[in-house]
Chains A and B, each alone.
Chain A
């Protein structure tokens, strides 16, 4: 008999991980449900391509599933799955850069334009469909793709994903100082690229 999903929804990550390590595939499904929104956003903001994002995210979960037995819980599952995602995305971007240079015309106009995916809401709950904001988001996407992969990663993790400096440092395996300096440089670069649009 299959257990109702609600049983897992209230479980913590650690509980789900230990159940999945014992072979409970439903527990792993719940982890996939829980982390798909965040990881999809992270990968999408790094690749700016919907198809690549979906493929990569599947690879990430497949890898996590295979490696789950060896997850010892020294770090949180959250940090662990983010590390896998970031590493796989960076590897993918290196390969993609080696074989063909992505033109800014190939870059999707923005996650907010994906009809299947989007539920754009502002902090105050209203829907934001302003022409100016749309144009700015498009420009922001282009500007993000002009950043180096390392800089794009910290901007994505800090500003878009809302991770702390210490968490980013743990995920990327660099010092917090490096995270801060990359962030500072990336913000300055973005400001320069968008100065005509942001006054």
Chain B
């Protein structure tokens, strides 16, 4: 027990200790007890089975000696475990089937009817006449390098020009 000698106590402690002698009388205690019993009875009637179960569950864990962080760890592991079990099921479930159906049906649909697969874009593409619209201009890389096709073409053009020039000259000379 804390020191009982009033000489050792500070005035504050002396004042606090005066409250030790404040005790309720028997009447108060009996009244309290009867209120307590009444409350217990009415609670039993009011509480649902689910409420009782939840209360028992929380009371059980509150009385465990395990520290709070250990309980938090167990709860986290349970959530993780449930997540692992439920998430794959969710993919295989209604949405999963839908995705799987789309995947398998897509290739066969394209083969059967490309328009169905690509919609209006497919119609537009197929309706076009590539040869009528696109102008093809042959382009060879070699024309950019000396000794390539371009050089040969230039040489040919020069020869043709020369020859035509000569024939023009001779034509004039031949004129009367």
Contact = CB atoms under 8 A, between A and B. Distances in A.
A and B interact physically: yes
A14 interface: no
Given A58-B35, A198-B11, A123 B21 contact: yes
A187 interface: yes
Contacts of B102: none
B2 A158 contact: yes
A32 B22 contact: no
A32 B40 contact: no
B69 interface: no
Interface string B66-82: 00000000000000000
Contacts of B22: 41, 111-112, 117-120
Interface in B7-36: 10-13, 15-25, 27-30, 32-33, 35-36
Contact of A61 (B13, B16, B36): B36
Contacts of A190: 12, 16
A62 interface: yes
B19 A41 contact: yes
Interface residues of A, number: 45
B59 interface: yes
A70 interface: yes
A119 B23 contact: yes
Contacts of A122: 18, 21
A45, A164, A190 — which one has the most chain B CB atoms within 10 A of its CB? A190
B161 interface: no
Contact of B10 (A136, A140, A191): A191
A66 B1 contact: no
Contacts of B30: 33
Contacts of A158: 2
A45 B19 contact: yes
B10, B17, B24, B29 — which one has the most chain A CB atoms within 10 A of its CB? B24
Contacts of A191: 10-12
Contacts of A61: 36
Nearest to B34: A29
A128 to B, nearest CB: 7
Contacts of A120: 21-22
A54 B10 contact: no
A133 B18 contact: yes
Nearest to A198: B11
Given A29-B33, A37-B29, 11 more contacts: A36-B24, A37-B23, A37-B24, A62-B40, A66-B56, A120-B21, A164-B2, A190-B12, A190-B16, A191-B10, A194-B12
Interface of B: 1-2, 10-13, 15-25, 27-30, 32-33, 35-37, 39-40, 43, 55-56, 59-60, 62-63
Nearest 7 pairs of A and B residues by beta carbon: A159-B16, A198-B11, A190-B12, A160-B19, A37-B23, A121-B21, A117-B24
